[in-house]
A = this chain, B = another copy of it.
């Protein structure tokens, strides 16, 4: 091994750490943002669920039941989305975030290794200097050679340690990335599977909504029967100053539908 290839090795190790820092940093930021946006989507859908729930109470039984079921299903999907958000935070974003510190530690290890390498280089330069100045001073040259050898052995050990460290780092990174992205995929799969299940149920429920029944209720409520109006217009109109009873027909929805509705709630 030459010092050059050792230098190349050092650069490669630094590049390994820097590359991990760069990309895992990007992944962390983007997945944190993805998680936040998912949480915002959950908020909007929760607001919609609440509005649907409120709206349900203002409509006739068939639409009311349909809106209430839809509201509940939509809220349930948001509960699953909340689970998705929490899992993404703990299983995906947090372990990626941890690489910020891991990278710092590895960089410190690299610096230590580099210091050893520089020490060896210094000893080597000292030896060259002595050889040039006093080529006959066997004792000084011998001592300098011993120092170089010591530094070389030291560098050699540091190199081995560093190789081991960077090897472990890379292995850990591969294992972590595999796990993190498999977890991401699994978390997403679980959410999509649950959402699909709930919405399938929602869709089937909606299909059963009987618009004609609600329209019958609505017609009874909205329609005023004034067939006698044309025959006795004045008499009827003179009665206009007396209020009609508060239990006007439009306040009582179709009884059996109401019963069905109450049974359902």
Contacts and interface: CB of A to CB of B under 8 A. Distances in A.
A207 interface: yes
A37 B41 contact: yes
A94 interface: no
A106 to B, nearest CB: 13
A196 B31 CA distance: 19
How many residues of A sit at the interface, in one of the four size bands?
A: 35 or more
Interface of A: 1-6, 8-9, 12-13, 16, 19, 23, 26-27, 30-31, 33-34, 37-38, 40-41, 44-45, 47-48, 51-52, 54-55, 58, 62-63, 66-67, 70, 120, 124, 127, 145, 148-149, 152-153, 156, 159, 163, 166-167, 170-171, 174-175, 177-178, 181-182, 185-186, 188-189, 192-193, 195-196, 199-200, 202-203, 206-207, 209, 211, 214-215, 218-219, 221-226, 229-230, 233-234, 236-237, 239-244, 248, 250
Given A196-B189, A234-B145, A177 B63 contact: yes
Given A222-B12, A224-B9, A174 B3 contact: no
A3 B224 contact: no
Given A34-B41, A192-B199, 8 more contacts: A1-B224, A1-B236, A5-B248, A145-B234, A156-B230, A159-B224, A167-B222, A189-B203
